[in-house]
Amino acid sequence: MTIHREGYKSIAIGTIIFVALNLISFYFLSPVSAALCWVIFFATLFLLLFLISFFRIPNRTLTISDGKVIAPADGKVVVIEEAVDEEYFKTRRLQVSIFMSPANVHVNRNPVSGQVVYNQYHKGKYLVAWHPKSSTENERHSVVIRKGNIEILVKQIAGALAKRIVNYLEVGDEVAQTDEMGFIKFGSRVDLLLPVGTKVNVELNQVVQGGVTVIATL
């Protein structure tokens, strides 16, 4: 397991706060209540370890398959349905949405190899990630990857806790399947918009792994 570069600053700040709080706690509270000092120590240690865990990149064997759409994120499948995309395609698409809890790995990966033909950031609300309108009203970043004559839209969506979406791609980039496309800090969701009729290989409420689970077959 390694730590994602997006976490270096947050973990450094968290470590400084952890050390400062406990130095103050043991210096001022120890004579009064040693038990309280230890409660504060273990509580802040848990929060620091959780912060480190949030930015983890686990060691795993990634799935590379030319005819498959691979999960762009860890999480649970919460939507499989046809919907009209008003942003890019202007037609009906097959939407597969993955909800990411704060405990999930938050690295986002390219579901297919191809060329980036669209990349757009949208300001928006911070509705809970499972809200039906979060796909169109929340802060989000949309990327379209063209693979041959097929285009797939990947939408990173902020949630009630997620306040920062990071996207590394630019229009014209040639990207490889399962390489990093971005990172969402502190819980949210990722939508895939696929051609209608695409064979879906997952079910509702199924837990998937980013870069590993096959979402659909092209």
Residues taking part in catalysis: 188
Distances (CA, A) of 120 to 81, 117, 144, 151, 191: 23, 10, 9, 15, 14
Residue 157's Cβ-side half-sphere holds a number of Cα atoms within 13 Å equal to 29
For the chain, the straight-line distance linking the first and the last C-alpha, in angstroms and rounded, comes to 32
H or E element, residue 87:
none
Residue 61's Cβ-side half-sphere holds a number of Cα atoms within 13 Å equal to 1
